[in-house]
Amino acid sequence: MNPVSKAHSARKHRQITRWIEVVSVLFLIVMLCSVAYILYPMNNKPANNEPEGFKTLTADYLGVMKNLNSSQTKAKMASQLDPSYNQTDLFTWEQGKLTFVQDPAGWFEDPTQILDSGKGICVQWSIVYVSACLSLGYQSRLVVAVDTTSWSFIHTWAEDYYNGSWVHVDPSDKVWNNPSRYQSWDWGKNIGLTVRVYAFEDGSFQDVTFTYSAH
């Protein structure tokens, strides 16, 4: 092979090699994105084809979490707490601050308003607890059991990121880390069927039905 042919062949080989490298990188990126979407569906957003009830419910709880994560709300809550409290201390602290009632006067979603009223249902208890945790720098989120036939909430509790994993916390029911508790409740028997469970953080939510379902 003459020198010109050799140079042409070498150049063609380099071009082919570069194309193979580019295609390989693009394929790897697509694969990684696909795996990430499957394994880490944390930043779920209501899709356009989701029921309006689902969109409304998720928007409401994302709004609550946005308020609880605001610097203003955190400062108000922190001023009412002992800064040395850990998550279990806050769980105990709340028991002396609120009384559970079936039908509270006012549907407060601001933790300081709830504390001023001194009472609430599961939603109010959970909001106060999550807010207290967030104000002291602990990672906490609201968890909601939802009837998917009407997209209405059934029960609300919390989860704490505690010792490296998310832990079930139900302040209104005075229960710590017993996720199977609801399976014996009437609605709990339908978790994974007509009942779904969602955990809400600041700007994102996650379907955590599997944590609480026997199905």
pLDDT higher than threshold 80 for residue 132: yes
Give CATH for domain 53-212: 3.10.620.30
- DSSP run (H or E) holding 128: helix 122-135
Q: Which of 16-20, 29-33, 171-175 has the highest mean pLDDT?
A: 171-175
Rounded Cα–Cα distance for residues 134 and 85 (Å)? 12
Query: How many angstroms from the chain centroid is the CA of residue 139?
Result: 10
Q: Between these two residues, 98 and 2, which has the higher pLDDT value?
A: 98
Q: What is the pLDDT of residues 170-200, one digit of tens each?
A: 999 999 999 999 999 999 999 999 999 999 9
**Could you identify the residue written with the tokens 């939802």?**
146
Region 102-119: mean pLDDT is 84
> What tokens appear for 196 in the block?
């779904």
Those residues with Cβ within 8 angstroms of residue 164's Cβ, 6 or more apart along the chain or in another chain:
none
Q: Would you place residue 47 in the very low, low, confident or very high pLDDT band (cuts 50, 70, 90)? A: low
Rounded Cα–Cα distance for residues 185 and 175 (Å)? 14
Rounded Cα–Cα distance for residues 32 and 22 (Å)? 15
pLDDT higher than threshold 60 for residue 51: yes
Looking at the DSSP bridge assignments, the partners of residue 176 are: 169
pLDDT higher than threshold 90 for residue 30: no
Q: Which of 17-31, 105-119, 193-207 has the highest mean pLDDT?
A: 193-207
Cβ(111)–Cβ(127) below 8 Å: yes
User: Hey, where are the domains in the chain?
Assistant: 1-32, 53-212
pLDDT higher than threshold 50 for residue 38: no
Provide the 8-state DSSP code for 82.
-
- Predicted local distance difference test score (pLDDT) of residue 26: 54
- Predicted local distance difference test score (pLDDT) of residue 130: 98
Rounded Cα–Cα distance for residues 73 and 29 (Å)? 40
Rounded Cα–Cα distance for residues 36 and 203 (Å)? 18
Region 14-38: mean pLDDT is 52
Determine the Cα angle at 126 with ends 159 and 182, to 5°.
Answer: 65
Cβ(140)–Cβ(130) below 8 Å: yes
CB atoms within 10 A of CB 166: 19
Provide the 8-state DSSP code for 57.
H
